[in-house]
Amino acid sequence: MMNLKRMGWGCVLFSVWMASLGVLATRSVAEGPTSPTSLVSALRQVPVFQRLDEDQLQKIASVAEVALRQAGDRIIEQGKRVGKMAIALESEVNIRIDGATIRVLPPNSLVGEIEFLVDVPASADVVLLSQSRVILLEHRRFQGVMDADPGLGYAVMGEIAKMEANRLRTNNQRQAK
């Protein structure tokens, strides 16, 4: 009788565990563009990747993760290493340093690039202003794609350099006022 009770609870716990795995698996598929075609389409909207060809976008898509995040979620935390760059597809992002907003970036903006470029902790918090699918690019995997295709790496790094120059110019203009 005691073994049956234990087995009964074990079966219940196993069933709950399996059901939760099923819910999580269903949720992750529904969270964002997980097919190669839809992820490539989403990447094509990101300014840093707009000059890349279909094959190059597919290479990036092969190492990208997609997650659904809510308004107010901090996708990058100041002072911490995330190991990933992020792109909020539908939401603007609030860039905050020490709690003060320094800028709001539009949807499809690449963030977390400072840690990628210089291997330092995040210099700012990045907070979603609305619910959004977020593409995450883990640094080592993304670097591997760029190393394997130097043309892709050159194009992406050139676009990141332009993006950083524009952000620096904007910041300098604000400070001068």
Looking at the structure, tell me whether residues 157 and 80 fall in a common domain.
yes
Look at residue 101 and tell me whether its pLDDT is greater than 70: yes
Looking at the structure, tell me whether residues 82 and 158 fall in a common domain.
yes
Task: Give the model's pLDDT for residue 34.
Answer: 62
Look at residue 65 and tell me whether its pLDDT is greater than 50: yes
Looking at the structure, tell me whether residues 10 and 24 fall in a common domain.
yes
Looking at the structure, tell me whether residues 91 and 142 fall in a common domain.
yes
The residues facing 23 across adjacent strands are none
Looking at the structure, tell me whether residues 1 and 55 fall in a common domain.
no
Task: Give the model's pLDDT for residue 43.
Answer: 95
pTM, rounded to two decimals: 0.76
Looking at the structure, tell me whether residues 106 and 128 fall in a common domain.
yes
pLDDT band of 170, cuts 50, 70, 90: confident
Average pLDDT over residues 130-158: 97
Q: Which residue has the higher pLDDT, 173 or 40?
A: 40
Looking at the structure, tell me whether residues 7 and 86 fall in a common domain.
no
Looking at the structure, tell me whether residues 60 and 113 fall in a common domain.
yes
Half-sphere CA count of 91, side-chain side, radius 13 A: 25
Q: What DSSP character marks residue 12?
A: H
Domain that holds residue 10: 1-31
Looking at the structure, tell me whether residues 8 and 41 fall in a common domain.
no
Looking at the structure, tell me whether residues 130 and 153 fall in a common domain.
yes
Looking at the structure, tell me whether residues 113 and 27 fall in a common domain.
no
Task: Give the model's pLDDT for residue 151.
Answer: 96
Task: Give the model's pLDDT for residue 175.
Answer: 74
Q: Report the CATH number that the domain containing residue 172 is assigned in CATH.
A: 2.60.120.10
Report how many domains make up the chain: 2
Looking at the structure, tell me whether residues 77 and 136 fall in a common domain.
yes
The fraction of the chain above a pLDDT of 70, given in percent, is 80
